[in-house]
Amino acid sequence: MEITDSGLAALTYGLGAIGPGIGIGYLVGQAVQAMARQPEAAGMVRTTMFLGIAFVEALALIGFVVFFLAG
Amino acid sequence: MIPLPGILAALEFPPLTHIVQWPAFLFEDTAFAINKVVLVYFFAIALTMLVFIAGNKGRLVPTGMQNLSESSVNFVEDGIVMPTMGPDGLRFTPFLMSIFFFVFFTNIFEVIPVIQMPASARIALPMFLALTVWVVFVLVGIIKQGPLGYFKNSLFPPGVPAALYILVAPIEFVSTFLVRPFSLMVRLFANLLAGHILLVTFAVLSSALVVSEWYVVFLPLPALGVIFFTAFEVLVSFLQAYVFALLTGVYIGSSLHADH
């Protein structure tokens, strides 16, 4: 099978999405736990959770843009 | 009859330029050429102004649009301004309202029939918004803490051993003045471009399966995909507008209150 540039780019993006995937899963899981333990702090936890998601997700999205630049 | 794998292999996905570039239909070949994306800007500006005008009616018992407008002011104040900037950030509410609604309306045109093009999927709009936010938070910092004080506070955060400043100052410079606007821009752009490509993928697959062969039975799968992802993209449009406004609030908040 021939290895092409776009195939490599797609593979690399897949690899690059592993880290943010684990990160968002862990982050949201912990946030849900925090909300379950202290429902009165849910609003604050939610805001902080979205902030954290935005930062973690940026890595995956930069990978997505690099995929188009390389592929 | 072409077998099923044959039609899937022959399936032609339009090149990226075909799904995000639109020909101009007014003032072609000038700097003010108007195409679909520019039209979406105008719609979004008009709708954002409508929200402000509806909120300004000042009836004691709000009805219709005024209701929506007032509850969205509440949402921006309680959900974005208070947790990120505190009470002295309340005068930034109009700015954050405009950012939130402008980003939301440009995003939501991704799922509006006939138009179906998020203006944020072209880098120009996210770049312009990110640069605006960058200018605002640097200016607020300079006005609040003085030009020297602001750069001293942001490049040399207090509570770090003096020898480490050789390492910390360049890192802080890159993360505050370069990565912040860049990540703000790429986040909005890539999310909306990805959503647009996702919808195009399922739509192309659905239209390729509208045939009078036996494999038409697979048509419901991509058709359901289009419906599901359209609903998902409505959520993404809202969430990205919220995150954009929230991060704007965080950045302005960090300029308002220096670390001690």
Give the pLDDT score at B127: 95
What is the tens place of the pLDDT at every residue in B46-80? 999 999 988 887 777 777 788 888 899 999 998 89
Cβ-defined contact of A65 to B190 (cutoff 8 Å): yes
Quick one: tokens of B86? 């505190």
Say how many C-beta atoms besides its own lie within 10 A of residue B156's C-beta. 13
Confidence bin at B228 (pLDDT 50/70/90): very high
Burial class (CB in 10 A: 0-12, 13-18, 19+), B78: exposed
Crossing angle, helix B220-256 and helix B124-145, to 10 degrees? 20
Number of folded domains in chain B? 1
* Residue A45 to residue B16: CA distance in whole angstroms: 38
What percent of chain B is modeled with pLDDT above 90? 39
The model's pTM is: 0.88
pLDDT at residue B5, rounded to an integer: 59
β-pair partners for B26: B34
Distance from CA of B160 to the nearest CA of A (A): 24
What is the predicted pLDDT for the residue at B10? 58
Q: Is A38 within the bounds of a domain?
A: yes
Report how many helices (DSSP H) and strands (DSSP E) chain B contains, helices first.
11, 0
For the domain that residue A56 is a member of, what is the CATH number?
Answer: 1.20.20.10
Contact A50 B189 (CB under 8 A): no
In a domain, A57, yes or no: yes
Rounded to whole angstroms, the Cα distance separating B134 from B248 reads 9
Cβ–Cβ under 8 Å, residues B253 and B84:
yes
A64/B189 touch (CB, cutoff 8 Å), yes or no: no
Do residues B137 and B254 lie in contact, with contact meaning Cβ atoms separated by under 8 Å?
yes
Q: What is the CA radius of gyration of chain A?
A: 17
pLDDT of residue A26: 96
CB within 8 A of A71, min separation 6: which ones?
A: A5, A6, A9, A10
Amino acid code (one letter) for B220: P
pLDDT of residue B259: 67
Cβ A61–B16 below 8 Å, yes or no? no
b/e per residue B180-218 (b: at least 16 CB within 10 A): bbbbbbbbbbbbbbbbbbbbbbbbbbbeebeeeeeeeee
Judged by DSSP in three states, B26 sits in: strand
Find the closest chain B residue to A65 by CA distance: B190
Q: What is the pLDDT along chain A (71 residues), one digit of tens a residue?
A: 677 888 888 888 899 899 999 999 999 999 999 999 999 988 889 888 988 888 888 888 888 888 877 76
Rounded alpha-carbon distances, angstroms, from residue B108 to B9, B22, B26 = 33, 18, 24
Q: Whole domain around residue A38: which residue ranges?
A: 21-70
CA distance B150 to B70: 35
B248 contacts B133 by C-beta, under 8 angstroms: yes
Considering only CB atoms, which chain B residues are within 8 Å of A64?
190, 193-194
A vs B: CB pairs below 8 A: 40
pLDDT attached to residue B2? 56
Given an 8 Å threshold on Cβ–Cβ distance, is B186 in contact with A61? yes
Record: contact A65-B83, CB cut-off 8 A:
no
Residues constituting chain A: 71
Domain count, chain A: 1
Domain range spanning residue B90? Answer: 4-256
pLDDT at residue B4, as a whole number: 59
The answer to whether residue A26 neighbours chain B at the CB level (below 8 Å) is: no
Does B124 have pLDDT greater than 80? yes
- Report pLDDT for B8: 62
pLDDT at B260 over 60: no
| Residue/partner pairs of B37-43 with CB below 8 Å, 24 or more apart | B37/B117, B37/B119, B37/B122, B37/B125, B39/B115, B40/B106, B40/B109, B40/B115, B40/B117, B40/B118, B40/B119, B41/B106, B41/B119, B41/B125, B43/B105, B43/B109
* Option in B183, B186, B242 nearest A50 (CB): B242
Tell whether A30 is covered by a domain. Answer: yes
Under the banding of pLDDT at 50, 70 and 90, the label for residue B30 is confident
| Region for B214 from its dihedrals, namely left if φ exceeds 0, alpha if ψ lies in -120 to 50, beta otherwise | alpha
Residue B1 CB coordination number (10 Å): 9
User: Does A8 reside within a domain?
Assistant: no
Query: Computed from CA positions of residues B121, B123, B125, B129, in that sequence, does the dihedral angle turn out positive or negative?
Result: positive
Q: Is A57 on the interface with B (CB under 8 A)?
A: yes
Predicted pLDDT of residue B243: 92
